[in-house]
Structure 1
Amino acid sequence: MNLEHPRIAIVGSGAVGCYYGGRLAQHGHEVHFLMRSDYAHVKQHGLKIRSVHGDFELPQVYCHRRTAEIGQCDLVIIAMKATANAALLELLPPLLHNKTMILTLQNGLGSDDFLARHFGSTHVLGGLCFVCINRTATGEIHHIAQGQISLGEHSGAPQVRTETLATEFRRCGIECKVEPSLLTARWKKLVWNIPFNGLSIAAGNKDTAAILADAVLEKRVRDLMREIIETAGKLGHAIPLVLMDDMIERTRTMSPYKPSSLIDFLAGSEVELEAIWGEPVRQAKAAGMEMPQVGRLYEELKERIAAR
């Protein structure tokens, strides 16, 4: 595997996949995008990315309808919804050789283990994206705020390849840090995702600013965050309580933002219900613990989605 000049595939070319893949392509990497609905437009017109870190365009993009057209790659970045994971069993094999790195940028819990079961733990890395980003039109991405990736290995502690990959991401304008424990980092991200993605739907289609402008909802955000942090700690993933205040204050500084789950809900698309809300509740229950706050939100979301 060539870590200096890797051949890269993006599986899931929505807002997240196009932004991070676009950054890598902007800085000289050979990046192949698996595309469906945007294929014809991007093939002809390329990608346009508006970003707080500087706008850029990619007039020519390697885009494909099938992974068999792409062939073997050194790095496969998965940015599709976790709800579509079953499709990866067919999509990934044409992209893989015996040293391919599979980096999943998916939300919630469970995707790393799914990939490890089917393709081998030593191939799998996980990345957590802390980014506000939307697809605003065909072939157009709007990067609103943040953008850091926290990177970790499924099979244990960081390796040389983990550090090398993080260094290359930074060279390409992507803030990146290496996590000693991927699973701890995933629980840490849930501290934001569970309350803000969940309440944006359950509270009646509210953006982040509207949630924090409501004292009752802000209290609920804090109650959810505390429960997630305490549960994670009991599972062996120490997260400081001060993270609650840090995440809330950072969210206040953002412009009003519709979380990705709300966008999916309003569009009639699948919401990552199980990966973000269901799986944490199940993992806690398997360890003999209850998560009443998260469990209540999980049930509310199921009702809202069913009634949509």
Structure 2
Amino acid sequence: MNLDHPRIAIVGSGAVGCYYGGRLAQHGHEVHFLMRSDYEHVKQHGLKIRSLHGDFDLPQVLCHRSTAEIGECDLVIIAMKATANEALLSLLPPLLHSKTMILTLQNGLGSDDFLARHFGSAHVLGGLCFVCINRTAPGEIHHIAQGQIALGEHSGAPQVRTEVLAAELQRCGIQCKVEPSLIAARWKKLVWNIPFNGLSIAAGNKDTAAILADPILEKRVRDLMREIIETAGRLGHEIPLSLIDDMIERTRTMSAYKPSSLIDFLSGSEVELEAIWGEPVRQAKAAGIEMPRVERLYQELKARIAAR
């Protein structure tokens, strides 16, 4: 990463993209935001970030309606929903030069492979965001809890650039750690995403506090987590079972947090059904492993989304 004068593009300027892009801009980076619905508001009024780490405003934001308008960048951060990945085939080319890093902050499995297939594995990094964050109004972001990014390379082990990027994110107030295996880290995040994002919808539009207040639902969370951890282990990605208690206790501190999939469901937006629930089931089956609890939840979500 060129740390002297890097050009950074944010593709997917929702809550996640605006928060992390906003932090980079706050610390002096040239950050270009691809904006759709909030373009006019942000162009006139900038971004307002409310955060447990300190509120800040960006009165002037480099926002654009097209990636062609942005041009080539050193780092492209993808924070759009995985459901819209086909659009990246036309969005990304104007942003890329021979050494551009593409960092996807998307949920679930499959996005890293999709980008590597179309743009080359050497360009692709993955980041897993452990963060509670919502867009509360046009140009307004509320960062509620956590915020760490776990960073890894699609092509394998961390490189010098991985460490450099992680250090720069840290300098900009973003907690970041480098993962030795990106795919293992993705399975680890699924341990939280599959049960809480899924049950928030399947159990009747419940926030995390309501899920954990119900002993039957908490048991289902724990059973799902155990199945995911055991499946990951059989695939060669060791995750300790102690993570179950750790994740549940951390979730209790989030209070009545609405997971992003529930927000998408309630707003009528597309839910990341395949990336978070479908793809793990398919990858497990391809290795001869059944995930009955996750598959049941996947089918329940299909039905709920179809009924919506």
2:214 maps to 1:214:
yes
Corresponding residue number in structure 1 for 2:168: 168
2:234 maps to 1:234:
yes
Q: 1:201: how far off?
A: 0.1
Q: Secondary structure at the match of 2:205?
A: coil
Q: Secondary structure at the match of 1:218?
A: helix
Corresponding residue number in structure 2 for 1:31: 31
Taking the aligned partners of 1:68 and 1:89, their CA distance within structure 2 comes to: 13
Corresponding residue number in structure 1 for 2:254: 254
Taking the aligned partners of 1:288 and 1:3, their CA distance within structure 2 comes to: 45
Corresponding residue number in structure 2 for 1:306: 306
Corresponding residue number in structure 1 for 2:179: 179
2:146 maps to 1:135:
no
Corresponding residue number in structure 2 for 1:147: 147
Q: For residues 3-42 of structure 1, what are the alpha-carbon distances to aligned partners after superposition, in whole Å with 9 as ceiling and x for unaligned?
A: 3431100000000000000000000000000000000000
Corresponding residue number in structure 1 for 2:9: 9
Taking the aligned partners of 1:159 and 1:237, their CA distance within structure 2 comes to: 20
Corresponding residue number in structure 1 for 2:62: 62
Taking the aligned partners of 2:10 and 2:296, their CA distance within structure 1 comes to: 35
Return the letter of the residue paired with 2:163.
E
What residue ranges of structure 1 are gaps of 5+ in the alignment?
A: none
Taking the aligned partners of 1:212 and 1:199, their CA distance within structure 2 comes to: 11
Q: For residues 266-302 of structure 1, what are the alpha-carbon distances to aligned partners after superposition, in whole Å with 9 as ceiling and x for unaligned?
A: 0000000000000000000000010000000000000
2:49 maps to 1:43:
no
Alpha-carbon RMSD across the aligned residues, in angstroms, is 0.5
Q: Percent identity?
A: 89
Return the letter of the residue paired with 1:299.
Q
Taking the aligned partners of 2:180 and 2:2, their CA distance within structure 1 comes to: 24
> For the Cα contact (< 8 Å) 1:48–1:139, is it kept in 2?
yes
Taking the aligned partners of 2:4 and 2:267, their CA distance within structure 1 comes to: 39
Return the letter of the residue paired with 1:174.
I
Q: 1:255: how far off?
A: 1.9
Corresponding residue number in structure 2 for 1:292: 292
What residue ranges of structure 2 are gaps of 5+ in the alignment?
A: none
Q: For residues 216-236 of structure 1, what are the alpha-carbon distances to aligned partners after superposition, in whole Å with 9 as ceiling and x for unaligned?
A: 000000000000000000000
Q: Secondary structure at the match of 2:229?
A: helix
Corresponding residue number in structure 2 for 1:200: 200
TM-score, normalising length: structure 2: 0.99
> For the Cα contact (< 8 Å) 1:109–1:276, is it kept in 2?
yes
Taking the aligned partners of 1:160 and 1:300, their CA distance within structure 2 comes to: 44
Taking the aligned partners of 1:35 and 1:167, their CA distance within structure 2 comes to: 27
> For the Cα contact (< 8 Å) 1:121–1:155, is it kept in 2?
yes
> For the Cα contact (< 8 Å) 1:68–1:94, is it kept in 2?
yes
Corresponding residue number in structure 2 for 1:98: 98
> For the Cα contact (< 8 Å) 1:184–1:238, is it kept in 2?
yes
Taking the aligned partners of 1:265 and 1:5, their CA distance within structure 2 comes to: 40
Q: Secondary structure at the match of 1:219?
A: helix
Q: Secondary structure at the match of 2:256?
A: coil
> For the Cα contact (< 8 Å) 1:3–1:165, is it kept in 2?
no
Return the letter of the residue paired with 1:115.
L
Q: For residues 226-273 of structure 1, what are the alpha-carbon distances to aligned partners after superposition, in whole Å with 9 as ceiling and x for unaligned?
A: 000000000000000000000000001112100000000000000000
Taking the aligned partners of 1:5 and 1:281, their CA distance within structure 2 comes to: 43
Q: Secondary structure at the match of 1:169?
A: helix
Taking the aligned partners of 1:282 and 1:9, their CA distance within structure 2 comes to: 32
Corresponding residue number in structure 2 for 1:124: 124
Q: Secondary structure at the match of 1:73?
A: coil
Corresponding residue number in structure 1 for 2:283: 283
